[in-house]
Amino acid sequence: YIDCRLTEGGKRRDRVRKVAPAITISRESGSRAVTIGKVLARVLDEAAPSKDCHWTVFDDNLVEKVLEDHHLPRRLKAYMVEDRVGEFSASIEEILGLHPSSWTLFHHTVETVIKLASLGQVILVGRGANLMTASIPGVLHVRLIGSVPVRTAQVERTYGLTADEARKQLRKKDAASRRYVRQHFGLKNADPVLYDLVINTDRLRDDAVARIIADALAERVRLDRRA
């Protein structure tokens, strides 16, 4: 993805386009964000076909990209979850110099997210990416939500859990996302003002949601380029 976005016609580009389209997706657990993101990438590729460069979804693999960008060992992935790690053991290990501080790792994440969004043709899921990229033209910010029963059923099917296990996982992941945004940005991730679109996925198919987002992205980029 990086090689493709930085090269054009086999030659390295001196600069990135001023307004490059990108999308951030904030989500409630079980609202099918990654699945919809992959469908959306396909829809966008079909709308503007390119032989080499394709839309790419970054979710869990975003952490791996951050570690690669900053030449950090893969074992640090355990300290870059949205939820809390063991704070006491993490603090001791920071003091002993076994890994960078959580604040340093967060700043590394911000740098990588901004770089990816600036390159364009990327869909960034979670981690407050909408707030990290708020000032970048051409980035559409979306939040996917759904009712607890529907999201619970989705988690059951996806992970093969019981209804009770699925509800516990929903509560845990949603609480982790809220804490992450509150800790690093002092905001509530459920605030609709932070997004261009808030979509309830309960009664919409993946492809329908993807088309809605694609249309909104085209309008967002058009307005930003005019500005």
pTM: 0.81
Query: CA-CA distance, 60 to 130, in Å (whole number)?
Result: 16
- Name the β-bridge partners of 27: 144
What is the number of other CB atoms lying within 10 angstroms of the CB of residue 178? 15
Q: How far is residue 34's CA from residue 173's CA, in Å, rounded to a whole number?
A: 15
State the pLDDT at residue 85: 43
C-beta separation of 170 from 30 below 8 A: yes
What does the block give as tokens for 113? 């997210």
- State whether residue 198 is helix, strand or coil: strand
Query: Reduced to 3 states, what is the DSSP secondary structure of residue 8?
Result: strand
- In this structure, the strands spanning 139-145 and 197-200 are parallel
Helix (H) / strand (E) element for 184: namely helix 163-185
- Residue 123 neighbours by CB distance under 10 Å: 27
Q: How many CB atoms lie within 10 A of CB 102?
A: 18
What tokens were used for 150?
A: 């529907």
Give residue 102's pLDDT: 65
Burial (Cβ within 10 Å: 0-12, 13-18, ≥19) of residue 51: exposed
Mean pLDDT (10-residue bins), the chain, 227 residues: 62 55 96 96 87 84 69 57 49 45 75 88 92 94 97 94 94 92 92 97 96 95 85
3-state DSSP assignment of residue 11: strand
